[in-house]
Structure 1
């Protein structure tokens, strides 16, 4: 990749800013991270603090029983849509490659099992919305989503487990029109988060 094609910006030109949000190493060496322009040269802690002032009220949860490679991409999408938190239910370890380092900026909480997760969600007053194409589910396209809620996704293939479905307040499905039984879990998560954004987020030009 040539210098002209590189992501980000090079070393800071001119007098350095005295704003404590800026990272001296990034000012000196350049900032090639995958962050929006407003965060160029900022410290990771400063970015997280700024995001915390404007995160949305929806949470995302992912069942992790098979070390699903989609978890990283779901974390990345949750960061893009400013989810309040991402919850990993099941195995603590997950494949971070797809997150593209966005997990540094996203709050992530672990729950050992569905029971522990459900106790946390209901204790926080958050309805659990399972996203899966199951019999009796409500179409996501026509559903009214609560502003404060947890969108829950299952593993690639088996989908939401029965214990998670039983713990959920509602099950929502994504309309499909082709021959495949289900779509990729990462794609389903992006669709569901965007559905919440369309209903509740403040959209600026």
Structure 2
């Protein structure tokens, strides 16, 4: 029987302490002295090594997309963290938690620190907020009457809304959506994991409106 993989020689993530010690530390206020001293093993781009969380968030703020992401938090779904992490990867303007204020952050892998989060007590309040901001509310759910997201022209100023695993969007949330979209599937299962669906939906939006690298 083949033995398990030896991870002892796997490359370390990130960087160690800044070479040369405190005398050589950069004076730029974006740098975190604790990270300079101990090293930076976070899951961030190399250009953000040793930067403070606040400095990274401010830098991303300068190039965020006008896409918002909302998640219904009814049953403390473990997938919420995964969706938050994906929203960070696509530089979403803001993430909205609708329902319970507390959510399971494990899957976010601390990426929520680099995002702007907003809580809404219920679907009605959320829809009112979206209308006040001029955002089209796009629900993502595999329900009768929904349209394929891959063939849809998605509004630039919009918010993608995701429901709970298995249950999907609540009736109150769906009733206020400007459009409900689904991801076309070709196998035997009726639905895919909501975290995976969120990643696909965000990428569909980015394909139509996202900035190209370097812009």
- TM-score category by the smaller chain? over 0.9
In 2, Cα distance between equivalents of 1:5 and 1:115: 49
Aligned to 2:113: 104
Structure 1 pair 199–50 and aligned structure 2 pair: CA distance change class (3 A): same
In 2, Cα distance between equivalents of 1:76 and 1:204: 20
After TM superposition, the structure 1 = structure 2 runs for residues 43-82 of structure 1, keeping only pairs within 5 Å, are 43-82=52-91
Residue 2 of structure 1 deviates from its aligned partner by 4.4
After TM superposition, the structure 1 = structure 2 runs for residues 1-205 of structure 1, keeping only pairs within 5 Å, are 2=8, 5-14=11-20, 15-204=24-213
In 2, Cα distance between equivalents of 1:142 and 1:182: 18
Deviates more, 1:7-16 or 1:80-89: 7-16
Whose Rg is larger? 2
Residue 138 of structure 1 deviates from its aligned partner by 1.2
Cα-to-partner distance string for 1:16-75 (whole Å, 9 max, x where unaligned): 111000001101110000101110000001001101111100000001100000000000
In 2, Cα distance between equivalents of 1:162 and 1:119: 16
RMSD: 1.2
Under a length normalisation based on structure 2, what TM-score does the superposition of the two structures give?
A: 0.93
Residue 204 of structure 1 deviates from its aligned partner by 2.3
Runs of 4+ residues deviating >3 angstroms: 1-4
In 1, Cα distance between equivalents of 2:96 and 2:69: 6
In 2, Cα distance between equivalents of 1:132 and 1:115: 18
In 2, Cα distance between equivalents of 1:127 and 1:196: 13
Residue 4 of structure 1 deviates from its aligned partner by 5.8
SS for the counterpart of 1:98 is: helix
Question: Any gaps of 5 or more consecutive residues in structure 2?
Answer: 1-6
